[in-house]
Amino acid sequence: MQYSNMTKEELETLLLQLEADYRAFKAKELTLNMARGKPSVDQLDLSMGMMDILSSESDLTCEDGTDCRNYGVLDGLPEAKQLLGDMMEVPADNIIIYGNSSLNVMYDTVSRSMTHGVLGSTPWCKLDKVKFLCPVPGYDRHFAITQYFGIEMITVPMTKDGPDMDMVEKLVSEDDSVKGIWCVPKYSNPQGYSYSDETVRRFAHLKPKAKDFRIYWDNAYTIHHLYDDDQDYLLEILDECRKAGNPDMVYKFASTSKISFPGSGIAAIAASHNNLDDIRRQLGIQTIGHDKVNQLRHVRFFKNIEGMNEHMRRHADILRPKFEKVLEILENELGGLGIGEWTKPKGGYFISFDSLPGCAKAIVARAKKAGVIMTGAGATYPYGIDPEDSNIRIAPSYPSISDLETATKLFALCVKIESANKILSEK
Amino acid sequence: MQYSNMTKEELETLLLQLEADYRAFKAKELTLNMARGKPSVDQLDLSMGMMDILSSESDLTCEDGTDCRNYGVLDGLPEAKQLLGDMMEVPADNIIIYGNSSLNVMYDTVSRSMTHGVLGSTPWCKLDKVKFLCPVPGYDRHFAITQYFGIEMITVPMTKDGPDMDMVEKLVSEDDSVKGIWCVPKYSNPQGYSYSDETVRRFAHLKPKAKDFRIYWDNAYTIHHLYDDDQDYLLEILDECRKAGNPDMVYKFASTSKISFPGSGIAAIAASHNNLDDIRRQLGIQTIGHDKVNQLRHVRFFKNIEGMNEHMRRHADILRPKFEKVLEILENELGGLGIGEWTKPKGGYFISFDSLPGCAKAIVARAKKAGVIMTGAGATYPYGIDPEDSNIRIAPSYPSISDLETATKLFALCVKIESANKILSEK
């Protein structure tokens, strides 16, 4: 029975029971965490072979004869560019390999635009106003970068097909202070939505008023499927932009953080040759080169994209039951009650939950009091402010299945209590 | 006999012989490189044990229980902070460990100051004029960073005791647009000079007009001695600044690039807690953390500072004969001729050579024509302009001893020819 159809008395009786259940949870003194998209220990173990792949007997010379142990090679090793090019579905020569984190690459990209502009444009720090579009709900660390640089963030609602493109097209074409948009186009963070072909094509055909407008295409989950036989496909944006006559309009980011080791992987940017040349002018000042030994370690471990895809199947085997367990519990506990909706992704790292308006903060706070840490309510919105106070990001990857079961049941219970409270208060 | 005391005829006769010698060198079709401070293959081999130090059987948990394979730890592993703290002669909690390159840390430090200021000061990009002091000759990649950000560079002459401190004190105290000074205080690049105690104390007691003035103390060669029994000592600048009541005035940089592997080492900044907190506010936006597995690899390989010092003795055993060979040839070929002076460092990576004014470019060009690449003349000055056209940086580390012998003889011959040409033209 939907909570909204219950009488005041029914709700009060229900609440008594729910609060008793909650006290029982609290008594367990749980310390569980569903906050961040961290791989589990089992997943990390999958890549331990990488520790043996180079030894003191290894020849650390790469394909073109470079000794990977010494200075140099700004762009990355040819074989690493090939591997990450295949992963990112672009030619190797549209790639620059960076250090250990794509977040850092995105930060540096915004930072460079602030101080030096984009392909010769006015540095953004010299402008009165710079704006970014932020599809919501979205990734808190994206929003943190733009906030840090004083860039005004304009929210654009997400749909199952991607951002509201009518709104994106209008904002981008009318306002030359709009310089960028944050996108997680595949298995989006937090909803797990993948942009439709039409959305990608509309992105590629944008007619930005600002010449230095760029799409920040964070393809973090490009090969991070949960199912072998039921995967999302995403049109390749560099190619679509090229075909649309907008070859320079996009930066594409990715890393192996959730493939090998978070923090000890390799990251890359993919872009047009014009953009890459612009980037190299800065990169050659910033560094003599990134960690080539780690690039070599990755290439020799994965061998090629087939090896990487096979490796991702093993990740999926660990992640899939966790997602399914969370979804099963949400359905069992909350299905048909009319107090929440959630996404059912086929990949990525998150499930997005929408509570009744005004309940998210209270739900997360209540879960925390019983020892279950969720991503802070509001984190999926710029400035941490969810105007509806309803979106909550669930990260099923890190806990064990049994911990996840406990945590999700507790979470569902908190949803019930706060929803009942809300509905009661409105009766 | 000094060239300047020779008659026109004597010089002309000499030149005929020198040019015959030069033609003989050219006929050898050499391809030798004394341009960059790159470790040799022998030196890189010293660290190959690092490839075995972690295996698929290893526990990659660090001292405080953190799984180094997963996200997190912005500051660096405690044991890595200890090791690099010992190396940099500061407490571990005055350290943040970065990625693979201290150059990148310096770039990021300037970049952050441009966009966000220093400890709350006006961002430099909002100022009409920002200036850095550049002791010369100095390190070209330092100058490239400040040039890239449009920072005006003011040269300050180096002495055997460090930069001309009368000039530094005057410029820093009178002009609030002077925001920094580049220093390589120990075994300086390119001269191999180490700052005297008095110089370090005068640095610590600077009274900058700009509150956001910082000393960029690039202690790249802190343990990079050539001799066990004859080493330079450098006063520790953080402590001196603290004692002088200027605790926040210095950033200290270092890395293991020339200890383990260039490009695959670990870098660090050392600074006051105020400065580190300021840095962390940015760093937490830029990254989730640097490569902890590589930090762990370094700590487990070197174990502690004693292990690192022992390792540096093995580097010295390879480098010392190379420096001595270059110095021996310079002395044999050029001693007493009055056509050049050079430094005799006890550590670091370079020997600095000063030709007669106006000859450096010609010498380097002539060496290049015969197949020996030197660092470009002028590179040791901001904007690549050596007003005297006399300084040449010699990097003896990379070639084999026999190649070095050939290259240095050719270099000395080029010095002789260009000097004779110059003196002749003035007769």
Q: What is the pLDDT of residues A87-111, one digit of tens each?
A: 999 999 999 999 999 999 999 999 9
Contacts of A50 in chain B (CB under 8 A): 56
Domain membership of residue A52 (yes or no) is: no
* CA gap B270, B239 in Å, rounded: 11
Six token digits for residue A405 = 């079961």
Q: How confident is the model at residue A156 (pLDDT cuts 50, 70, 90)?
A: very high
Q: What is the pLDDT of residue B135?
A: 98
Q: What is the pLDDT of residues B96-144, one digit of tens each?
A: 999 999 999 999 999 999 999 999 999 999 999 999 999 999 999 999 9
* CA gap A241, B11 in Å, rounded: 67
Is the predicted pLDDT of residue B407 greater than 90, yes or no? yes
Mean pLDDT within B68-96? 97
Mean pLDDT within B151-179? 98
* CA gap B199, A322 in Å, rounded: 62
Distance from CA of A337 to the nearest CA of B (A): 37
Residues B326 and B212 in one domain: no
- Tell me which residue range forms the domain holding A167: 62-303
Domain membership of residue A51 (yes or no) is: no
Distance from CA of B283 to the nearest CA of A (A): 9
C-beta atoms of B99 and A103 within 8 A: no
Q: CB-based burial of residue B236 (10 Å sphere; 0-12 exposed, 13-18 middle, 19+ buried)?
A: middle
Domain membership of residue B215 (yes or no) is: yes
Using DSSP, how many helices (H) and how many strands (E) does chain B show? 13, 13
Domain membership of residue B95 (yes or no) is: yes
**Mean pLDDT score of chain A:** 97
Q: Choose one of B270, B303, B336: the last residue of a domain.
A: B303
Q: Choose one of A303, A326, A356: the last residue of a domain.
A: A303
Q: What is the pLDDT of residues A263-291, one digit of tens each?
A: 999 999 999 999 999 999 999 999 999 99
**In chain B, which residue's Cα lies nearest the Cα of A71?**
B262
Q: How confident is the model at residue A427 (pLDDT cuts 50, 70, 90)?
A: confident
Residues A299 and A314 in one domain: no
Q: How confident is the model at residue A13 (pLDDT cuts 50, 70, 90)?
A: very high
Contacts of B141 in chain A (CB under 8 A): 285, 288
Q: What is the pLDDT of residue B91?
A: 98
Q: Give me the percent of chain B exceeding a pLDDT of 90.
A: 99
- Any CB–CB contact under 8 A between A66 and chain B? no
C-beta atoms of A292 and B263 within 8 A: yes
C-beta atoms of B69 and A264 within 8 A: yes
Q: What is the pLDDT of residues A313-336, one digit of tens each?
A: 999 999 999 999 999 999 999 999
C-beta atoms of B123 and A123 within 8 A: no
Residues A33 and A145 in one domain: no
Q: With b meaning 16 or more CB within 10 Å and e meaning fewer, what string describes B79-88?
A: bbbbbbbbbb
Mean pLDDT within A162-190? 98
Q: What is the pLDDT of residues B301-348, one digit of tens each?
A: 999 999 999 999 999 999 999 999 999 999 999 999 999 999 999 999
Mean pLDDT within B23-35? 94
Is the predicted pLDDT of residue A380 greater than 90, yes or no? yes
CB atoms within 10 A of CB B209: 13
Distance from CA of A124 to the nearest CA of B (A): 10
Mean pLDDT within B19-36? 95
Q: What SS3 string covers B110-157? A: HHHHHHHCCCCCCCHHHCCCCEEEEEECCCHHHHHHHHHCCCEEEEEE
Residue A378 belongs to domain with CATH number: 3.90.1150.10
CB atoms within 10 A of CB A108: 23
Mention every residue, 6+ apart, whose C-beta is less than 8 A from residue B4: B338, B423
Q: What is the ipTM of this complex?
A: 0.97
Residues B371 and B267 in one domain: no
- Any CB–CB contact under 8 A between A288 and chain B? yes
> Judged by CB atoms within 8 Å, which residues 377-416 of B form the interface with A?
none
Which SS3 state, helix, strand or coil, does residue B255 take?
A: strand
Q: CB-based burial of residue A99 (10 Å sphere; 0-12 exposed, 13-18 middle, 19+ buried)?
A: buried
Six token digits for residue A193 = 């939505």
Residues B128 and B35 in one domain: no
Q: Kind and range of the H or E element at A307?
A: helix A305-334
Residue type, B3: Y
Mean pLDDT within A52-81? 97
Q: Whose structure tokens read 């709900």? A: A137
Instruction: Determine contact, residues A224/A349, Cβ cutoff 8 Å.
Output: yes
Distance from CA of A187 to the nearest CA of B (A): 20
Q: What is the pLDDT of residue B283?
A: 98
DSSP label at B80?
A: H
Q: Choose one of A303, A326, A342: the last residue of a domain.
A: A303
C-beta atoms of A70 and B39 within 8 A: yes
Q: What is the pLDDT of residues B382-402, one digit of tens each?
A: 999 999 999 999 999 999 999
Domain membership of residue B54 (yes or no) is: no
Candidates A145, A264, A289; nearest CB to B285 = A145
**In chain B, which residue's Cα lies nearest the Cα of A56?**
B48
Residues A222 and A328 in one domain: no
Q: How confident is the model at residue A1 (pLDDT cuts 50, 70, 90)?
A: confident
Residues B275 and B326 in one domain: no
Residues A234 and A217 in one domain: yes
> Shortest CA distance to A83 belongs to which of A348, A295, A315, A314?
A295
Domain membership of residue B55 (yes or no) is: no
Instruction: Determine contact, residues A78/A64, Cβ cutoff 8 Å.
Output: yes
Q: What is the pLDDT of residues A180-235, one digit of tens each?
A: 999 999 999 999 999 999 999 999 999 999 999 999 999 999 999 999 999 999 99
Residues B260 and B343 in one domain: no
C-beta atoms of B58 and A51 within 8 A: yes
Q: What is the pLDDT of residue A175?
A: 98
Q: What is the pLDDT of residue B427?
A: 86
Kindly give the residue spans of alpha helices, DSSP state H, lying in B335-397: 360-369
C-beta atoms of A263 and B289 within 8 A: yes
Domain membership of residue A50 (yes or no) is: no
Instruction: Determine contact, residues A259/A223, Cβ cutoff 8 Å.
Output: yes
* CA gap B135, B189 in Å, rounded: 10
> Judged by CB atoms within 8 Å, which residues 88-107 of B form the interface with A?
99-101, 103-104, 107
Distance from CA of A142 to the nearest CA of B (A): 9
Q: What is the pLDDT of residues A289-314, one digit of tens each?
A: 999 999 999 999 999 999 999 999 99
Sign of the Cα pseudo-torsion (A323, A30, A376, B279, in order)? negative
- Any CB–CB contact under 8 A between A261 and chain B? yes
Report the residue of A261, A292, A315 to disrupt the B interface, i.e. the one with the largest count of B CBs within 10 Å: A261
Q: Whose structure tokens read 């930072």? A: A111
**Mean pLDDT score of chain B:** 97
**In chain B, which residue's Cα lies nearest the Cα of A108?**
B286
Candidates A51, A108, A282; nearest CB to B54 = A51
**In chain B, which residue's Cα lies nearest the Cα of A123?**
B125
Residues A295 and A325 in one domain: no
Residues B352 and B420 in one domain: yes
Q: Helix A305-334 and helix A292-302: axis angle, to 10°?
A: 80
Q: What is the pLDDT of residue A148?
A: 98
Q: Whose structure tokens read 């210095």? A: B250
State the total domains in chain A. 2
Domain membership of residue B53 (yes or no) is: no
Query: What separation in angstroms does the CA of A393 have from each of A33, A37, A408, B101, B271?
Result: 12, 10, 12, 35, 37
CB atoms within 10 A of CB B125: 20
Candidates B70, B73, B145; nearest CB to A38 = B70
Which SS3 state, helix, strand or coil, does residue B362 take?
A: helix
CB atoms within 10 A of CB B61: 12
Q: How confident is the model at residue B1 (pLDDT cuts 50, 70, 90)?
A: confident
Cis check for the bond before A123: say yes or no (omega within 30 of 0): no
Residue B121 belongs to domain with CATH number: 3.40.640.10
Q: What is the pLDDT of residue B402?
A: 96
C-beta atoms of A294 and B291 within 8 A: yes
Q: With b meaning 16 or more CB within 10 Å and e meaning fewer, what string describes A203-222?
A: bbbbebebebbbbbbbbbbb
Q: CB-based burial of residue A290 (10 Å sphere; 0-12 exposed, 13-18 middle, 19+ buried)?
A: buried
Strand positions, DSSP E, B219-270: 250-255, 267-270
- Any CB–CB contact under 8 A between B51 and chain A? yes
Q: Kind and range of the H or E element at A108?
A: helix A102-116
> Judged by CB atoms within 8 Å, which residues 18-47 of B form the interface with A?
36, 38-39, 41, 44, 47
C-beta atoms of A263 and B51 within 8 A: no
> Shortest CA distance to B315 belongs to which of B187, B408, B138, B218?
B187
Distance from CA of A50 to the nearest CA of B (A): 7
Query: What separation in angstroms does the CA of A197 have from each of A231, B146, B345?
Result: 14, 45, 64
Instruction: Determine contact, residues A279/A106, Cβ cutoff 8 Å.
Output: no
C-beta atoms of A56 and B49 within 8 A: yes
Residues A248 and A138 in one domain: yes
Is the predicted pLDDT of residue B24 greater than 90, yes or no? yes
Q: Which residues pair with B267 in a beta bridge?
A: B255
Report the residue of A59, A112, A115, A279 to disrupt the B interface, i.e. the one with the largest count of B CBs within 10 Å: A115
